């Protein structure tokens, strides 16, 4: 089985660190040179990677990174105990709330963006969580 870590590109490492500490309560564990900070407090390690806006996302890319709001099919969901205070903390730290709170059979969520344009969700599961809608495979 593979292990998982989350890597989030940020244009300013100190600003990213301040945001993820204030918004989600993550805490710095160690600095990896001048290009990354490992954060703890989630169930997997989270690494903020300093990548300037002009840096190519991969060798031979036709353009550089753009920290305006962008979409990617892979994103991070942060599970929280109470949605409203979590949204308030994230917004106070610099996030953008991109939706009203949404309710589903498994709980509630808010669509968010960090100060670097990375989308993420804050999710409060009901007591049954995803089991409320799950079917066996």
Which domains can be identified in the chain, with CATH numbers?
6-53+75-132 (3.10.180.10)
d(CA 23, CA 132): 29
d(CA 63, CA 55): 8
pLDDT of residue 115: 95
pLDDT of residue 54: 86
DSSP E strand boundaries for 36-118 = 36-40, 46-50, 76-79, 96-97, 102-104, 107-113
Q: Nearest 5°: CA angle at 25, between 19 and 29?
A: 90
pLDDT of residue 39: 95
d(CA 106, CA 29): 33
Parts of the chain with a pLDDT under 70: none
Helix (H) or strand (E) holding 22: helix 13-24
d(CA 98, CA 90): 12
User: What pTM, to 2 d.p., does this model score?
Assistant: 0.85
Torsion of CA 75, 78, 79, 84, to 10 degrees: -120
pLDDT of residue 111: 95
Q: What three-state secondary structure class fits 83?
A: helix
pLDDT of residue 3: 78
H helix intervals, 25-128 = 83-93
| 17-46 tens-digit pLDDT | 999 999 999 999 999 988 999 999 999 988
């Amino acid at each position: 089985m593979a292990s998982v870590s989350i890597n989030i590109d940020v244009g300013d490492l100190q600003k990213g660190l301040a945001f993820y500490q204030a918004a989600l309560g993550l805490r710095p564990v160690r600095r990896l040179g001048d290009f990354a900070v490992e954060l703890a407090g989630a169930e997997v390690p989270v690494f903020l990677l300093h990548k300037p806006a002009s840096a190519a996302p991969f060798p031979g890319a036709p353009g550089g990174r753009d920290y305006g709001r962008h979409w990617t099919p892979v994103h991070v969901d942060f599970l929280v105990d109470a949605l409203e205070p979590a949204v308030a903390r994230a917004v106070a730290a610099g996030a953008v709330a991109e939706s009203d709170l949404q309710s589903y059979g498994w709980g509630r969520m808010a669509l968010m963006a960090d100060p670097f344009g990375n989308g993420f969700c804050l999710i409060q599961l009901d007591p049954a969580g995803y089991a409320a809608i799950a079917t066996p495979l």
